[in-house]
Each structure stands twice: as C-alpha cells, then as structure tokens.
Amino acid sequence: MLLSAGIALNRGNRRAWTTLARKVHSKGSISPIAPGAAAAAAAAALQQQQQQQGNRAPGILFDIDGVLIRGNTVLNEAKEAFQMLSKRHLLKNIPYMFVTNGGGTTEAHKAHQLSKWLHVPVSEKQVVLSHTPLRMYEQYFNKTVLLIGQGPLKEIAASYGFQKTLDLDDMRKAFPLMDIVNMKVRKQLKSHPPTPIPVPPVEAIFVMHDPLEWESCLQVLIDLLISKDGVPGTLDSKQHIPIIFSNADFLWMAEHPQPRFGQGAFRLCLEALYKELTGRDLLYTQLGKPFGVTYDYAEKLLNEQAQKLGYDGLSYFYMVGDNPRSDVRGANSRQNGRSVLVRTGVFSPHLDNDPSDPAHFVVPHVRDAVQLVMRHFDDGLHHHGGSDELHAHFVQKSRTRSEK
C-alpha cells in the first residue's frame, strides 16, 4: 500500500475513509489517501444529521457537459428548464447545485459562466468542479505538489489552500533533459544549453484537468513515480509519491458527433506505462463522479443550502446527467440519490436505459428532467421531508408515468 504523509485521522474516521477508498480504486489498487481529519469529521456529522427526522428538502444536482451545454453551445432546453424553475420560484425554495467532472477554472468563473448561459443567479458555492474536493486534503497544504492539466492551476490550488505548487513548465526548467520528445527542443538544448532552475522534491501529484502534450506529461509523471523521494533521475523499488486524479471520465461530449477522450483515458495510459515499466499496479486516488468523496462534498453543500432556506436539512437529491458510468452510477450508489439520465450527451439515444448502470428515469433532455422533478413537487412530495416511504411512493409513481 502507498502510505500518504500527513494523514491525521482518528481510528474511526480512518476506517470510514479507507472503506471509501476501496470503492474508489480499480483493480485492487488501494491507497489510503483521504481528506484530512476536519473534512472526515464534517462528513460524519452530516451523515448523523441526515439520519434525524425533520422538515427536509429534496435537492437537485445538475451535470454540465452533455446536459446544459455541448462544447461552447448552450442547449435551448437548458435555458427553458431554468426559466421554468425560475417562474415557479423553485430556485429560491429548493437547494440545487452544478456538479461536473470538468475543471481547469475557478468555481467563481464557472458560476459566472452558468449565470450568463442560463440567465439565473449562480453562486460559486453552488459549483463543484472535478478538483473542488481537493479543498479537503489539507494534509498537503504545506507540501510541494505538482499540478497537471490546463488552466490557471496554481491560482486554483492557492484558493484551496495549497501553498507550494509546481507545474509542468517548472519541471522542464529544473530538468531540461527530462522532456525531449520534441525534436525542436533537442536542437535548442544542443545550441543553447539552459541553466537548470532548481525545484524542491515533489511530494504529491494532482491531475486537476485534462492535460495537453500527453507524451510530455506521461514521461514526467513516470519519472517521478519511479523516483526516490520525488527527485527525477533517481530510482526506487516502491511508489512513494501519492497521485490524485480529479476526473475518471473516459469519454465526454463536445460539439463533435462522437464523444472525446477524457482524463480517464489519460489515467489508463499512465497505468499501462507504469505497469509495463515496473511490473506493479499504479496506486492512486480518484476524485470526481461517481466516487464517494465528490458526492459527500456535494451533499454537504446541498445540506447547507437547505438549512439556509429554512429546512432542517437535505432529504434526498436528483442527479441529472448524461453519463451512466459517472452520473447514474454515482447517484444510484447513494441511499438518498435519484438518477435522471438525459439523451443529449454520452448516453446512446438508441437504448431505453443503460444496461450496466440503469437510471431511475430516462428523459430526452434537461427540460424534461426538470418537468419530472416539478411533477413530484406538485404531487406534494416537498411538503413531506424525511419520509423515505413517501419518497419511494412518488418515485415509483413517476417511473410508472415515464414508462407509459
């Protein structure tokens, strides 16, 4: 097992987060890299609070890519859906959030984009990006972390609390001979040998967004993962550096008719190279949907929203998404989750439902998903927070309707 430095959890919380990690990792690659003690305690408190009876509100989690937008195009049904919610005053009466496996920007910037796209006010506290749960990993706040991906990653990491960060360019400047796939770079190194700019040893790696120049990223990461104490050029028989991926999506939907490869595909490449080189499985931690850490974080924020709206807390939530492997699987794994699958993204429009990860409901687009939720509210569901039996009754009632 890969032991991550700085994890200070009490025995009960450590057991809880280790159990969660077992759900996160594939192929038995289990790494006990968990959020810090404060985050673990908060998650336990939320779970205990949700078990108490009271006037509780249902909430909605919206995916973004393939549900509200495709590439840079906002779907008309998304605008219509939020117009309906606004007219019914539901935006001010129910907790809702946007949970995406996208990233590479700040929550504030994404909230501004959503407000502009949907013509409704959106707060940064209503946005969970793929890397947002990194806020909980305070054990790395004062450690040297290498950030991989596109966008203002150092700015994002600093906003979360990470004080010492590096990016791919920093590594290239420190080790000019490490990344020489590009023939132009090789010629430049011969004619103008650079002076290395030293960096401290890397103590953790965060893959925060889809990287560019995969060949360069893969080379640098492999050099670090096989190194002794995070110094490229050295070798060790064990993996010492923890690596966290923020997005497991193998595919995502843009303007092109067919889905595009995502960060999940990059991780598979890194795993294959590491296995071929060392004979060992790569040990890693996976964030993003459908994994528990991301849903724990989103539910915590939904619960806080519900309390600000005057409820005792969150009863359950709808997850509206286009990806059965992330959106549907994640919602179905939660005791209080209701999955709604739309046909505007990754999910095949030729299937009635996904055979491996079937959703509670399948609808053409997000407008129909919102109409489904509103119909439940009209049936009086929102007046009976906390009754699981009543919730199940109306879920089954709507499922019967959708099958007709």
* Token pair of 144 as six digits: 């040297």
What would the mean pLDDT of 304-322 be, rounded to a whole number? 93
Closest CA to 218 of 243, 236, 237: 243
Split at pLDDT 50, 70, 90, the class of 12 is very low
The CATH H-level superfamily of 59-130+311-403 is: HAD superfamily/HAD-like (3.40.50.1000)
What are the pLDDT digits (tens) for 329-369?
A: 999 999 999 999 999 999 988 899 999 999 999 999 999 99
What would the mean pLDDT of 12-29 be, rounded to a whole number? 37
132-286 has which CATH code?
3.40.50.1000
pLDDT at 112: 98
Residue 170: is its pLDDT beyond 60?
Answer: yes
Split at pLDDT 50, 70, 90, the class of 191 is confident
What would the mean pLDDT of 51-70 be, rounded to a whole number? 86
Residue 64: is its pLDDT beyond 90?
Answer: yes
Q: What percent of the chain has pLDDT over 90?
A: 65
Residues of the chain within CATH 3.40.50.1000 domain(s) are: 59-130+311-403, 132-286
What are the pLDDT digits (tens) for 243-297?
A: 999 999 998 888 898 989 999 999 999 999 999 999 999 999 999 999 999 999 9
Split at pLDDT 50, 70, 90, the class of 181 is confident
CB atoms within 10 A of CB 291: 23
Residue 244 gets the label, from left (phi > 0), alpha (psi -120 to 50) or beta, of: beta
What would the mean pLDDT of 390-398 be, rounded to a whole number? 42
Residue 22: is its pLDDT beyond 50?
Answer: no
Instruction: Choose the weakest-confidence range: 199-203, 220-224, 254-258.
Output: 254-258
CB atoms within 10 A of CB 184: 7
Split at pLDDT 50, 70, 90, the class of 99 is very high
Closest CA to 74 of 128, 126, 132, 115: 115
Strand 73-74 with 69-70, pairing: antiparallel
Residue 201 near residue 144, CB atoms below 8 Å: yes
Cα 78 to Cα 66, 156, 344: the distances in Å are 10, 27, 11
What would the mean pLDDT of 14-32 be, rounded to a whole number? 38
* Token pair of 285 as six digits: 């931690």
pLDDT at 47: 54
Residue 209: is its pLDDT beyond 70?
Answer: yes
Average pLDDT, the chain: 84
Q: Which residues contact 258 (CB under 8 A, 6 or more apart)?
A: none
Closest CA to 340 of 332, 70, 96: 332
Buried b (16+ CB within 10 A) or exposed e, 94-123: bbbbbbbbbbbbbbebbbebbeebbeeebe
What would the mean pLDDT of 314-320 be, rounded to a whole number? 94
Residue 49: is its pLDDT beyond 70?
Answer: no
